[in-house]
Amino acid sequence: MGRPAVFKPFWPVGLVKYARAALFLGASVGLAQATDYSGPLFDAHLHYNEEAWNGQAGPHPLSDVLARMQRNGVQAIVANSRPNDGTRALAEAGEATRAAGVTVVPFIRLYRNRADYNNWFQDESIYAMVQAEFARGTAAGSYRGIGEFHLYDSANANGPVARKLMQFAEQNGLAVLAHVDDTAVDLLLAHAPKARLIWAHTGIGGSPVARVEALLAKYPQLMGELSYRPGLTCGDGALCPEWRALLLKYPARFLIGSDTWVNQRWLYYDDLMRGYRRWLGDLPPAVARRVAWDNGAALFLGAAP
């Protein structure tokens, strides 16, 4: 495409604005020339689980995971770990995280062990643990969210503890990172309509894009985190057209994440972040930056970056 004569000095200001908008739109359809996104990343779905560090060193000690974040331009993380000790270790390593240029946003994980995955929604001791953990806070400041939690059967969104936790989150301004299906999004938000729900994977079962779009329209406080999202990328890691259209329609509503739920995800952390940079490059630069960084920063770093 030819370069429009945008900056001719004799153009009235209004026309210059119009022409700049046209240039922006033109750039957004030039997919063939897309270059990878090169700005900061906000990893909004990160686990530092027991097996990654084993309470002290493990295969991925703090120095290792921080080096992985730093070399990938990950400058902030939502940390949630099984058990919460992993998140505490990151929060307490203020000097090391500052040196790596990483801001830690702590979330309260509901899981003390793997058995808790399947029973948390009806286990009162989990509710008590979350309350105690919230009251305790971390060295990196107050907890900012709850999760990630899983519901393999959406009906369990109506479990007594699930309901109380949603209301606890709403009352305390905590975000909720939930690995659930689209039905459970409705059920969870019925308990706490003002809660900020971050939909982990934006439907790992592949909820149709039209359904995702309808939920975003219905719940202005709903965000979608994009790790493992089926159908997001096509071919050589490019953004699929229907997802590109959705991100352009709702640029303020998406986040990216590594989901380091097993150690293998740490091994491939560089590839995961490279994959994000690849498809983010298919978006107009301002939209890419919002999904990559600005949306997380606006939620958790207290200011528009």
- The footprint of Zn ion on residues 49-108 (CB under 5 A) is none
Instruction: Among 259, 287, 289, 296, indicate the residue that binds Zn ion (CB under 5 A).
Output: 259
- When the beta carbons of 181 and 259 are compared against Zn ion, the nearer one is 259
- When the beta carbons of 28 and 154 are compared against Zn ion, the nearer one is 154
- The footprint of Zn ion on residues 139-158 (CB under 5 A) is 148
DSSP classification of residue 141: B
Interface with Zn ion, residue 261, by CB under 5 A: yes
Contacting range for Zn ion; rule: CB under 5 A; set: 17-25, 205-213, 245-253, 256-264 = 256-264
Contacting range for Zn ion; rule: CB under 5 A; set: 95-103, 161-169, 231-239, 258-266 = 258-266
Number of residues that bind Zn ion (CB under 5 A): 3
What is the pattern of x (binds Zn ion, CB under 5 A) and - over residues 8-47?
A: ----------------------------------------
Instruction: Determine the length of the chain.
Output: 305
- The footprint of Zn ion on residues 191-210 (CB under 5 A) is none
Residues contacting residue 213 through CB under 8 Å, at least 6 positions apart: 246, 249, 250
Q: How far is the CB of 114 from Zn ion (least distance, A)?
A: 13
Phi, psi torsion values for 243, nearest 5 degrees: -75, -35
Scanning the chain, the segments in alpha helix (DSSP H) are 13-28, 50-53, 62-71, 85-92, 94-100, 124-136, 160-172, 182-191, 209-218, 241-249, 263-267, 269-280, 285-289, 295-300
Contacting range for Zn ion; rule: CB under 5 A; set: 61-69, 92-100, 213-221, 251-259 = 251-259
Interface with Zn ion, residue 181, by CB under 5 A: no
- The secondary structure of 234-302 as a DSSP string is ETTTEEPHHHHHHHHH-TTSEEB-----SHHHHHTHHHHHHHHHHHHTTS-HHHHHIIIIIHHHHHHSS
Which residues of the shown chain bind Zn ion in the complex (CB under 5 A)? 148, 259, 261
